Structure 1
Amino acid sequence: MSDFNTTKFTNPSTLILLGIPGLEVAHVWLSIPFCAMYAIALLGNFAILLIVKKEPTLHEPMYYFLCMLAATDLVLSTSTLPKTLSIFWFNSREIDFRACLTQMFFIHCFFGVESGIFVAMALDRYVAICHPLRHSTILTNRVVAIIGLAVLLRSSMIVLPHPFLARLLPYCGNNIFPHSYCEFFGVVKLACGDIRVSSYYGLFVTLTRNSLDMLCIAVSYTQILRAIFRLPTKNARLKTFGTCSAHLCAFLVFYIPALFSTLTHQFGKNVPLHFHILFANMCLLVPPTLNPIIYGVRTKQIWDRMLWLFTQKRT
């Protein structure tokens, strides 16, 4: 890489995304699973939205939250995959700096929204299992809408400083970004000024938000498990726990890779760059791909409705 001019300026007009450095020769091959997973994410999440909309018996808080999750997954995957695929297929590496900041906001905002929706879904399961007679009076349509709006506002407010902090930093001519999308920590590291405030704020938001959300989910499921173990028969316990299994699977698919990626980014100095970037892409693509499959298979009402739709089309 050539030497760069060290004259400071406000921000570059464009950034050059390298895709996955070290794996450039494999970009075309990597695009095949990336494109397949993106197609599954689009079809699966749109199917969830369509099924819940068309089936009146699914107009319940659990499925409203599932629709919020599906919409969030669509935004999250679409925020990154089209540009990533354009790099893989057409070597289209340039991205306007303002577009980069916009992409950064959407990625981090809706990643936080998804985390908040998992908390809301855990709350729904807690009320349904621990207070079943009050479920319909506690989680009314109005309350569900307020929870969804609160989740969106919370994430938007805490992520809004990210693009502003990145934009205010001085840059010194290095506009080559070794990544396939505009990730906050990576962009601020291109700056030639003091990035401690930006880095500390980003790390604080990530760890605090995830820790609080996981704590709320853990408390909810502790109470749920206590209620399940008090049920009189094994069949009743298994049936009740089955209503939570899809949520637990989706929760693990979302949080474990995200935490691993965050920790390796901050502390994994010996982790190869191409592994980190590939894993970071998987963190944003795997949950939107697997969530509709998990809920479609594990949720009987959605599975039955999906089979009915395909049967109708064939006849």
Structure 2
Amino acid sequence: MSEVLAALLRANLVLAIGVLAVLALRLPARRAFGPEVAYGLWAAPPLAALASLLPARVEDGAPEVHALAAAVADWSAPALMAWGLGGLLVLAGMARAQARFMDEVRRGRGGPSVVGVIAPRLVMPADDGTYTAEERALIRAHEREHVARCDPRASAASAALQALCWFNPLVHLAAHLMRLDQELACDAAVLRRRPEDRALYARTLLKTQLAAQPLPFGCYWPATGLHPLEVRVGQLRVTRRHDALIGAALVGLAVLSAVIAAWRLQPPAPRPGELVELWERHQRQPVTSVILVSLPPKPPAAAPGS
């Protein structure tokens, strides 16, 4: 249990470091290369955390029990129980929120959105005259872009990490900002194909945000000081193609570097003792070849007088 707890703590630490790195890079990356590149940076923290759980490199002389595992050995069992209980409570809260949202959908007040993970489906706002036909077409294009980009699965993975690392405020902040970057990336993808609809897109966003998030006295956005609507409308511009390609290459390099660094920085594992013993025995003793021959069984002896 101590090894399991130590691995989870190490992965959580790597995840937190990755989140801090993305928090420092996402705004410069958005300004330089566009929202889609900034959104791609969020792949680095969870992949680096997973890399820290891979089998460690084997080195002679590595300690069999690492310092972190030894430090948590005495309280690993209750800590794992508390960790699991907290995760279950967070999942229960998410399930309750999802049920409330689906209840609003059944009443015709849940759109626009995409629901579902394995088979996502679009939820459109009620056709009550709030949106014109052109605005509804833009909403449909936006939600279909979410499905095409597998954003519902990314959101589900983010929710799972929130449940697994429920005690880490950086993970919850990352999930919040990742969803904003997800929306900005989706906006940019839609407008790349429909650049002439930028003004109509901004008006549609205004209607959707005001209908979904009424806030008459003010708003608070901890990362930028701006409401998400202002951020999204401000990003309704066309990003140059070559900048996006360069940015995507840099994101791929950053993600790969994070994964390799997370794996290399974990403590090395000792060479398995049984393999070392067998190898040393093989070096000391001569090799003997044995051939096994299988003979057919002998027929039963005949009885006397037969």
Normalising by the smaller structure, the TM-score range is under 0.3
Q: TM-score, normalised by structure 1?
A: 0.27
Question: Larger radius of gyration, structure 1 or 2?
Answer: 2
Report the TM-score, using the length of structure 2 for normalisation: 0.28
